[in-house]
Amino acid sequence: MKTKTRRTGLTFTLMVAILVGMGCPGPVRKDPFSFYYWHMDGREIPLVLDESTLALAFPYSSSVEEIAAILESEPLLVGPSSWPSGPLIPVAPGTSDEEVLALIDRLNATPGVDWANPVVTRDFFAAGIQCAYCGGKEGVEPHFVVEFPLTTPIEDIEGLTASYSLEVDGVSLNEEAIIYTVRTTSATGISTIDMANICHEHPLTIRAYPRFWPLVRSSLPD
């Protein structure tokens, strides 16, 4: 069921005090730029942007020269001038959240870029979710998950993915749902996080949510 859970200020304050007393870090001290729907119960998880880094990937067929040209065309990127050693690229100090998000949008519209996504912190404290250690930085993966009821006609699912120019990467079944793994394309024109939220809110779906990979291993809720 798609639900949104709200906590009172008193409950949140008491919970934070207890968790901090247990050795957990406190709430994230920065305003979120977005949110996503938690797959466990549909509550909104605030997302806080890391303005110092972004995740950027190129097709395997890219040449060193092609990658260098793209990296050098964006003065806010201060990473390697050729092939990056990994998907994380540093951003110039002092860059605002708005500038980082605009940069990601430009990169996703740039020929020769496979995908670009933000690095974020999921603020579980603000959502009232207890965990052993919260607040680690994570990259947003290019693919996200959309689950449909088992009775959903395949043509309806294909209609939804086609309407947003989504690329289907995988399909599986369990006892509850038809599970699609999809990703946005340059024709989608919508970020991974926003597109996952749109799919979650669509009446055809059970739920939809982005996936993350931790930059520092920690004990986070699934």
| Residue pLDDT, tens place only, 155-180 | 999 999 999 999 999 999 999 999 99
145 and 206 fall within a common domain:
yes
In percent, the amount of the chain with pLDDT more than 70 equals 78
Among candidates 64, 110, 115, 121, which has minimal Cα distance to 87?
115
151 and 194 fall within a common domain:
yes
104 falls within a domain: yes
CA distance 69 to 72: 5
Residue-wise pLDDT for 74-98, tens only, equals 999 987 655 565 688 999 999 999 9
Confidence of residue 30 (pLDDT cuts 50, 70, 90): confident
24 and 67 fall within a common domain:
no
pLDDT of residue 130: 81
66 falls within a domain: yes
Residue-wise pLDDT for 122-137, tens only, equals 999 899 988 766 668 9
pLDDT of residue 82: 57
133 and 146 fall within a common domain:
no
pLDDT of residue 17: 36
3 falls within a domain: no
179 falls within a domain: yes
Output the average pLDDT for the chain: 85
Range of the domain at 35: 9-48+121-138
Confidence of residue 4 (pLDDT cuts 50, 70, 90): very low
- Count of residues making up the chain: 222
Residue-wise pLDDT for 202-222, tens only, equals 999 999 999 998 886 444 455
Region 44-60: mean pLDDT is: 95
pLDDT of residue 10: 36
219 falls within a domain: no
* Number of domains into which the chain is organized: 3
95 and 190 fall within a common domain:
no
Please determine, for residue 1, whether its predicted confidence score (pLDDT) is greater than 80: no
Angle at 174 between CA 171 and CA 180, to 5 degrees: 25
146 and 158 fall within a common domain:
yes
Among candidates 195, 129, 208, 117, which has minimal Cα distance to 163?
195
CA distance 119 to 214: 10
Higher per-residue pLDDT: 14 or 211: 211
103 and 152 fall within a common domain:
no
145 and 208 fall within a common domain:
yes
CATH for 179:
3.30.70.1140
Residue-wise pLDDT for 97-128, tens only, equals 999 999 999 999 999 999 999 999 999 989 99
Q: Look up tokens 């406190």; give the residue.
A: 26
